[in-house]
Chain A
Amino acid sequence: MAKLTIEDLKKIRESAKKSTALREGETNVKITVHMGTCGIAAGAREVMDALLEEMAEADRQDIRVVTSGCMGMCSSEPNVTVEMQGKEPVIYQHMDKNKMRQVFKRHVLKGEVQTGFALARVK
């Protein structure tokens, strides 16, 4: 590898920061995939995979993907909750990979709530 200049060093810093952003970067959006036994049985795993693929494409370091257990509404699984900074969380129901991709592209990236898939808006 060629010797670094100070500019190269700063470039490495920026790209490495993306890789460590989970540990210290800011969070603007939190997406929760509900992965209780019922969620997994209903297909939450596929939803998660689709979401993570979308994440890789979007290259945004301020979005956190977390899992959580059953919300008690097993019949509406797979559920996904999207919380955007300063807005009320939105819970989506009966998700699949295509719906997940749509929610990510439209709601998470553009801020358009996909009312058709929504279960509720949490007050």
Chain B
Amino acid sequence: MTVRMDLLLCSGTGCQASGSLQVRDALKRELARHKLENEIRIIETGCNGFCAQGPVMIVQPEDIFYQKLTEEDIPHLVEEHFLKGRPVKKLFYKEPASAETIPSMDDIPFYAKQKLIVLKNRGVIDPENIDEYIARDGYIGLGKALLEMTPEQIIQEVKTSGLRGRGGAGFPTGLKWEFAHKAEGDVKYALCNADEGDPGAFMDRSVLEADPHAVLEGMIIAGKAIGAHQGYIYCRAEYPLAIKRLNIAIAQAREYGLLGKDILGSGHDFDVEIYQGAGAFVCGEETALMHSIEGKRGMPRPRPPFPAQQGLWKKPTVLNNVETYANVAQIIQNGGAWYAGIGTESSKGTKVFALTGAVNNIGLVEVPMGIPLREIIYDIGGGIPKKRKFKAVQLGGPSGGCVPERHLDTPVDYESIVKVGAIMGSGGMIVMNDQTCMVDMARFFMDFIHDESCGKCTPCREGTLRMLQILERITHGRGDDGDIELLEELSDMIKNSALCGLGQTGPNPVLSTLQYFRDEYEAHIYEKRCPAKRCAALLDFEVDVDQCIQCGICFKKCPAGAIRWQKKEPAFIMKDQCIKCLSCITNCPVDAIS
């Protein structure tokens, strides 16, 4: 019998966490009950991007987008829509600003403004079925590269495209390949860096879950370009679903002869293995990553020699990020000039960001280079929830910096973002509202860096600890005159003397918050006051009786039962029972507690 309807149910990690597997089982059950199982197909896709609304499902051919599905919704949905053809409005997406319901995915502002290259197959194909990838022109670029192009031509095409490393540093990919291509040696390696470690970032995980073949195809092409016959994907073991889907993809590609000997009859051999990392942040650094694959402790070494000359097992090696590889096949297929037509003068193509924090539409977005940050946060992200004020956006995780309101029109390209004190980074984008204390945020990242420092070089091992201690003192109300200057001095020293990128960029969150929010540091140190009301040690936990609107929200939110309140009376916090969890302050609609 013919399939008349496809249900594209998101099964990325995000949607699985919000229950998409239960939804799938309920769908199977209900479809069978109505005897629809042969005419309606459930396709489990990779991450669709709109994680905040998960589990999400797209119904084709009608192009209807359902969101926040629960097991309980399914009997009604199957009977009403899939049997009787009446789409269920209450499960449509509702635009937060206008409260308007939108049935079609293309009309939802979150999707409408994105441009998909890396994520072109997300939510459209079953990532565990190689044929569906091939249906969307998968491995056609590989065929062109292997059968019609020389290594030099492939490198030239990638150079023409202007593709730069998506791991964050932005080194031109074509140039990197050329160095490895020219390096002497009969054994070379093409590696993929899937050791995504920035807090809040999940771009690479989603690409691997939604479209693993795109990464494999890029790696095989890189193998031909540099003359490598073996590739490794270094992926953290904390990404079980990505690893599972990669393993399935590798097995399917091997079965089709797209990995192995004499691929597509071209004479080129290439195979891939997955190496699981234990989740150490420093193993995202290229030399540490290679040490880890070699079975040694994951620690960086000084460069030169660069990996293009002496990389894995001292052989010439190319290491690219997941997202970089995912661009390659389409560049070969459509030509470098096509890719270079998207983006800005210095930054070509698109970039995937993991949009998170104080923003309405949390999820994965792919945008053309050059788009202003404001458009990402307000048009795609839907702005700041609960009528709060925007304060800053943090880019590039622990190596990056924050961009305040007045620089929000900065276009997304490698150079412009550096000019305002942040970095493009691998794609973490954390939006912060006026309830975020910038000193506390800097302390959080410094805690992370100190924790993840491998300890090999003194500036990073000892310097980040000293900086963390100072920041902890400041946020606990014991900051001293001279602390800011000491932080600046230490930052400067660590940046200039640390061995690898982790230490060299580690002080960035402190420096960038000092650049834009020095007044907050000063308020903590000299006035013993936290303007954002986040540092519990600097708060009194008292209700301002004049400001209190007697709504009782704090009373309902307090987990310790430490607030006394009755209708038409202001709230009162009983300090002996208060656990200083901040839930009253966070939820007070008029900021009456300090």
Contact = CB atoms under 8 A, between A and B. Distances in A.
B83 A35 contact: yes
Size category, B interface: 35 or more
B262 A3 contact: yes
B392 to A, nearest CB: 40
Contacts of B84: 35-37, 40, 67-69
B71 to A, nearest CB: 23
A122 interface: no
A1 B256 contact: yes
B449 to A, nearest CB: 44
Interface stretch (B133-141, B396-404, B522-530): B133-141
Nearest to B257: A3
Given A16-B135, A23-B61, A67 B83 contact: yes
A20 B135 contact: yes
Interface stretch (B1-9, B176-184, B357-365, B426-434): B1-9
B144 to A, nearest CB: 9
A15 to B, nearest CB: 8
A19 B85 contact: no
A27 B258 CA distance: 33
Interface in A1-33: 1-6, 9-10, 12-13, 15-17, 19-20, 22-24, 27, 32-33
B125 interface: yes
A46 B61 CA distance: 22
B139 A35 contact: no
Given A9-B134, A52-B1, A23 B124 contact: yes
B58 to A, nearest CB: 8
A94 interface: no
B134 A16 contact: yes
Interface string B85-110: 11000000000000000000000000
A9 B124 CA distance: 20
Contacts of B4: 22, 52, 55, 64-66
A34 B86 CA distance: 10
The contact size tier of chain A is 35 or more
Contacts of B255: 1
A19 B131 contact: yes
A32 B62 CA distance: 12
A53 interface: yes
A18 B39 CA distance: 15
A23 B85 contact: no
A22 B131 contact: no
Contacts of A112: none
Interface in B218-270: 255-258, 260, 262-265
B147 interface: yes
A16 B3 CA distance: 14
B132 interface: yes
Nearest to A36: B84
Contacts of B3: 19, 22
Given A5-B264, A56-B1, A22 B147 contact: no
Contacts of B5: 22, 66
Contacts of B83: 35, 40, 67
A4 B2 contact: no
A88 interface: no
Given A66-B4, A66-B61, A68-B86, A4 B132 contact: no
A64 B59 CA distance: 13
Nearest to B265: A5
Contact of B125 (A4, A20, A36): A20
Nearest to A14: B135
Interface in B1-32: 1-6, 8
Given A20-B135, A23-B60, A23-B124, A67 B85 contact: yes
A35 B85 contact: yes
Contacts of A56: 1-2
A36 B86 CA distance: 9
Contacts of B463: none
B139 to A, nearest CB: 6
Given A9-B140, A12-B134, A67-B85, A4 B257 contact: yes
Contacts of B60: 22-23
B143 interface: yes
B135 A66 contact: no
Nearest to A2: B257
A22 B41 CA distance: 11
Contacts of A64: 4, 61
Nearest to A12: B134
Nearest to A53: B1
Contact of B2 (A23, A35, A65): A65
B264 A13 contact: no
Contact of B124 (A2, A24, A33, A36): A24
Given A23-B60, A52-B2, A52-B4, A6 B137 contact: no
Contact of A3 (B124, B131, B265): B265
Nearest to A33: B85
Nearest to B131: A16
Contacts of B139: 9
A16 B82 CA distance: 24
Contacts of A37: 84
A16 B213 CA distance: 15
Given A4-B264, A5-B265, A6-B147, A22 B61 contact: yes
Given A27-B61, A65-B4, A32 B135 contact: no
Interface string B110-139: 000000000000001100000110111111
Given A3-B256, A65-B2, 18 more contacts: A3-B262, A4-B256, A4-B258, A5-B265, A6-B143, A9-B256, A19-B132, A20-B135, A23-B6, A23-B124, A35-B83, A35-B85, A52-B1, A52-B2, A52-B4, A56-B2, A67-B82, A68-B84
Interface of A: 1-6, 9-10, 12-13, 15-17, 19-20, 22-24, 27, 32-37, 40, 45, 48-49, 52-53, 55-56, 64-69
22 contacts: A2-B257, A3-B256, A4-B256, A4-B258, A9-B143, A9-B264, A12-B131, A13-B134, A16-B132, A20-B124, A20-B125, A23-B61, A33-B85, A35-B85, A37-B84, A40-B83, A67-B82, A67-B83, A67-B84, A67-B85, A68-B84, A68-B85
**Nearest 8 CB-CB pairs, A to B?**
A3-B257, A67-B85, A16-B135, A68-B85, A55-B2, A16-B131, A65-B4, A6-B143
